[in-house]
Structure 1
């Protein structure tokens, strides 16, 4: 997910929010952030977890929703709305979360924004203005030999979402993120990264081919991705062999991403020497399905779906290839998506 993820503001007695995530609006940080919250979804009970990264004891608040499974997550700081892609209801749902709560507790949230239930197997969500794009990884033609997927483009108006159009893709989908007007998407089931330029200009139902697609050397199977504009850094996750959910995952950090991506020809490869890879037994990475990157603190946050039943992990001081233990290691059953919100 997107997402990249911006962080969530928890005051001493209230929750307040403002965003930095998988959208096209990623401003450079001028002064250190005063608040930072990581949102996480899961496919175990459909609730949303919020980790106050500035608190000394990692205070966690759980937003209990009516969904039983969820994926992509996003926070709209301008309206105080927390949104997630519900895999159980097959649509986007939004909740107002600006009221005072007891920190570290569980808050039941009522559905505030809703829309049509059009999707089959929704995953990551990317946001650009009032447009919310969700990747659906269901096999469109029911032929596993021909990779495909769908991008559902919703427009938000007040308290509702309306489906504008559906794009059928030439790759199997999972993670997506906007960089400006271009939508980047991982090709689930292999090590490819594709881009659809000026994506939202495609306003009708259609089949769309990637404008460019490159391989990422060292990755077995991509899932999550996140881009930080302030540092021009892309991070991609690798779940490895899908049958091994405990120990063969990793992630790769590509600094100077735009020039490296642009310098590789279509169907070419970004070489392993042009990135840093973290993997190994100390990392607790088995099935890292989503990632958020904080360019200010150079921290990678991971939604790990498999290892230990599911975890939320973070890594800092990533300077060389190899294995490293996570700085943050919080259990979250069937973790599916992360979104970092800073203010």
Structure 2
């Protein structure tokens, strides 16, 4: 996913899970008409944002918002300010859009604040308070045979974004996720996961930094997407990037304890995970993930299969070759952010 979620109210439990039950009294709908359960998705194809109303998983609806971007990857919704921030690959900057709950289908969103166009190849956005971190997979040293990447650290203020510093790492980056003050980052082109403890406070100047800890996640070929909520981590597996039906995702419950139990350089056993993959899943290159613990739902942005899809899997704990509960086509689907109240 990839940032701090504002998930509340036990009533939400009813929304996704019950939608799959034929004998449910309310047909999978949340009792309150005013309750917002939304999934935001960005696109590499046109840079626009699609908002899905997920309050009834058996009958999702969507609205599309036009942005000044033509290619986007990485987004975050702040319910305190009712603002959506998008990481744009063209132009190469962060843009924040206001009054999102009043936006209507087809409207053009105008950025209220923006960063300078300093990004090179943004892939994900993680937020912790006023710190906005963008993972960027552009080559750093000019040598394509070496793996490296950047983490651009912005501070969001009333007048815009200030680039505080840039952290260079010795691996290609993609998905990132704050868990508390720790920043988790997938190690692209591998099946590894890294963490930078107390990231924002410990990395305040331009520097080349080693991860605090890196582990191998057994069973994954090449990871990209990452999502976390209430102790459960989701990691996606794109397999062969040139193949559109060999992807999957892993569910790691009790993640904090399991990750702590693996030494730096060690391996998290596949027996400590649940894998979802196969021909029924529509997973080829799943590049972004979100998780809602209240409804036990995994959301996936699938980039390759069918040209792009937004998928939702409810009760995927058993793993295997399962079909998604929601399967919406979205050209160039690139990143997700889930919000509920």
Q: TM-score, normalised by structure 1?
A: 0.90
Q: Tell me the CA shift for residue 320 of structure 1.
A: 2.0
* Alignment match, 2:302: 304
CA–CA distance in 1 between the matches of 2:188 and 2:246?
A: 16
Higher relative contact order, structure no. (Cα contacts within 8 Å, ≥ 6 residues apart): 1
Unaligned runs of 5+ in 2: 13-34
Instruction: Please give the alpha-carbon distance, in whole angstroms, between the structure 2 residues aligned to 1:42 and 1:156.
Output: 23
Q: Which moved more, 1:185-194 or 1:47-56?
A: 47-56
CA contact under 8 A between 1:252 and 1:275: conserved in structure 2? yes
Cα 1:50–1:28 change in 2 (3 A) is closer
Q: Superposed, which structure 2 residues align to 1:183-332 within 5 Å?
A: 183-201=183-201, 202-229=203-230, 232-244=231-243, 246-332=244-330
Q: Secondary structure of the residue that 1:112 maps to in structure 2? A: strand
Verify the 8 A CA contact 2:8 2:340 in the aligned structure 1: no
How many aligned residue pairs are there? 317
Number of the residue aligned with 1:161: 161
Q: Aligned equivalents of 1:101 and 1:88: distance in 2?
A: 22
Quote the Cα distance in structure 1 between the aligned partners of 2:317 and 2:225: 21
Instruction: Output the CA distance in 2 between the equivalents of 1:177 and 1:221.
Output: 17
User: Residue 248 of structure 2 contacts residue 276 of structure 2 at CA under 8 Å; is this kept in 1?
Assistant: yes
Residue by residue over 1:89-127, the C-alpha shift from the partner in whole angstroms, topping out at 9 and shown as x without a partner, is 11100111346455xx21111111111111110010000
Q: Conserved in 2, the CA contact under 8 Å of 1:61 and 1:107?
A: no
- 3-state SS of the aligned residue for 1:293? strand
Q: Distance in 1 between matches of 2:277 and 2:159?
A: 42
Q: How far off is 1:30 after superposition? A: 4.4
- Kindly provide the CA deviation profile for residues 203-249 of structure 1, in whole angstroms up to 9, marking residues without a partner as x: 110000010000000100000001112xx1000000001111x1000
Partner of 2:69: 67
- Divergent runs of 4+, >6 A: none
Alignment gaps of 5+ in structure 1 = 4-21
- The CA distance in 2 between the partners of 1:275 and 1:50, in whole Å, is 30
Deviations 1:123-169 (A, max 9, x none): 10000111100000111112233211000000011141010000001
CA contact (8 A) 1:216 1:270 kept: yes
Q: Do the aligned residues in 1 keep the contact of 2:7 with 2:340 (CA within 8 Å)?
A: no
Q: Any conservation in 1 of the 2:245–2:282 contact (CA below 8 Å)? A: yes
Q: Residues 48-127 of structure 1: matches in 2 within 5 Å?
A: 48-55=49-56, 57-98=59-100, 100-102=102-104, 105-127=105-127
Whole-angstrom distance in 1 between the partners of 2:324 and 2:81: 33
- Distance of 1:116 and 1:240 partners within structure 2: 35
> In the aligned structure 2, how far is the partner of 1:98 from the partner of 1:87?
21
Q: Does 1:338 align with 2:339?
A: no
**C-alpha distance in structure 2 between counterparts of 1:325 and 1:101, whole Å:** 32
